[in-house]
Amino acid sequence: MKPVENNSSIPDDFKDFKAEVKVASPGRINLIGEHTDYNRGFVMPSAIDKKIYFKFRKNQNNNLIRIYSETFEVYTEFDLNNISKSKNSWENYLLGVLDEIQKYGKKLSGFDCIIRSELPIGAGISSSAALECGFAGGLNALFGLNLSQMEIIKLSQRAENNFVGNNCGIMDQFASVMSKKDHFIKLDCDTLEAAFVPAELQNCKLLLLNTNVSHNLADSEYNTRRRECEDAVAIIQQKYAEVRSLRQVTFEMLKEFENEIDAISLKRCRYVLEENNRVQETEKALRSGDLKTLGKLMYASHRGLQDQYEVSCPELDFLVDFSENKTFIYGSRMMGGGFGGCTINLMEADKIDTYFEEVKNAYREKFDIKLSSITVDPDEGTQIIRN
């Protein structure tokens, strides 16, 4: 089906909305470990204290779903018997989740939902995973579907892969659901084993600087990077059958195959192996309170993403370069898929305001674009309140 066209007139009975279930679903940051999740490597994300809020209630109509986004002031309806892709891209996150839940053989009936978001879109803090996981988690509670957290994570990821068309890894959904307040998750994306590392940042805080650009290369280049890595794995597999992903590949293997693997793929693979090592080093630095070392690893991660993986852009590079000689900034790097979005900066908390003024002016002068800032704290994953 095509969902009923967006129509900003909300039904009268939405004015007195008694929610049966309320959900707070967070965005995420990633301290380090970029473009490693789909290569079955390591990542170190956390949910943040900025969220999407949902209210749910059942309605009396078997198949009618009524949704209102307070943030965008749009109202839409879906028919449960007829779930298919919409031309309105934001609806596909929700439709994808409905489709995946139905594929599980879980029974839904008519419901109403109001959504309010404080997450900027396209900033690389994964408003999409927050939307999918919050919606799935809310329906799980509303209809008693008995889905585990892991099932919610995986079905949300599939919703994004299949309905939205982003071939993303598992990091964003995992972080949005599983995070613990004041911790980073060191996630092994091969085994899905998670270690919670205390986010003891001493006199520092994390500042996100939003470039407010989102270059449209992002989706196609993301898929190209995945393919470049997979191509190298396929070559190595011919000799080493035990290799299933870059996770089992060593620097020695890359050397051995350097004449067979295309030079660009080789560069991507080296980056991934190095970034996996940086995540391990970051965990050690964080656990031992060595924030200076942690910051250096963040800079090294950025340079790898810029020069080897080639997913940065002039705006992100400018922000990282600008921070590099400031002693009160320990580390800075682009965050997320790249080609725009935010940098994540580990810096002394009392310098944030004056630094932001300075970098905002310099950024405007250079690109004539407004820079925005978001300070974030690692926070709890999706939270569900049943009334």
Q: Which residues are catalytic?
A: 172
CB-nearer residue toward ligand GLA: 76 or 166: 166
DSSP state of 248: G
Residue 228 makes contact with ligand GLA by CB under 6 A: no
- Looking only at residues 102 through 121 of this chain, which bind ligand GLA when binding is defined by CB under 6 A? none
CB-nearer residue toward ligand GLA: 108 or 246: 246
CB-nearer residue toward ligand GLA: 111 or 174: 174
Minimum CB separation of residue 213 from ligand GLA in Å reads 16
Cβ neighbours of residue 127 under 8 Å, at least 6 residues apart? 27, 52, 117, 119, 120, 121
User: Segment near ligand GLA (CB under 6 A), from 35-43, 290-298, 322-330, 345-353?
Assistant: 35-43
Task: Find where tokens 């290569």 sit.
Answer: 39
- Pairwise CA distance, residues 303 & 309, whole Å: 9
- Pairwise CA distance, residues 167 & 163, whole Å: 10
Residue 35 makes contact with ligand GLA by CB under 6 A: yes
Minimum CB separation of residue 197 from ligand GLA in Å reads 18
Tell me how far CA of residue 55 lies from CA of 14, 71, 96, in angstroms: 11, 13, 19
- Using CB under 6 A, pick the residue from 34, 91, 275, 348 that binds ligand GLA: 34
CB-nearer residue toward ligand GLA: 120 or 336: 336
Residue 337 makes contact with ligand GLA by CB under 6 A: yes
Helix, strand, coil content of the chain in percent (nearest 5) = 40, 25, 35
Minimum CB separation of residue 35 from ligand GLA in Å reads 5
**349 burial class (0-12, 13-18, 19+ CB within 10 angstroms)?**
middle
Residue 171 makes contact with ligand GLA by CB under 6 A: yes
Contact 212, 376 (CB under 8 A): no
Q: Which chain residues interact with ligand GLA by CB under 6 A?
A: 34-35, 37-38, 126, 168-169, 171-172, 336-337
